[in-house]
Amino acid sequence: MELKQLREKSADELKAHLVELHKEGFALRMQKATGQLAKTHDARRVRREIARVNMLLGEKK
């Protein structure tokens, strides 16, 4: 999701999105550990999006 779209969300929506991203990141790490991860760039995308959401949550405080 782009930063512009994330900025439009409320703090509660961002927190919910953050939980989903952590779940997705966990699933990707498990796939990597078992050798089933086909798209290795997805792990990087999730990590960066988590950082973006955390940055926006900090700004909203």
Domain boundary assignment for the chain = 1-58
Task: Quote the pLDDT of residue 32.
Answer: 95
Helix (H, G, I), strand (E, B) or coil at 55: helix
Q: What is the pTM of this model?
A: 0.91
Task: Quote the pLDDT of residue 5.
Answer: 94
- Write the class of the CATH domain 1-58: mainly alpha
Please write down the long-range contacts of 18-27, taking CB distance under 8 Å and 24 or more positions apart.
Answer: 18/50, 18/53, 18/54, 18/57, 21/46, 21/49, 21/50, 21/53, 22/50, 25/50
What's the CA angle centered on 26, arms 22 and 30, to 5 degrees?
170
In whole angstroms, what is the distance from residue 40 CA to residue 11 CA?
Answer: 30
In tens, the pLDDT along 10-58 reads: 999 999 999 999 999 999 999 999 999 999 999 999 999 999 999 999 9
- Assess contact for 53 and 10: CB atoms under 8 A: no
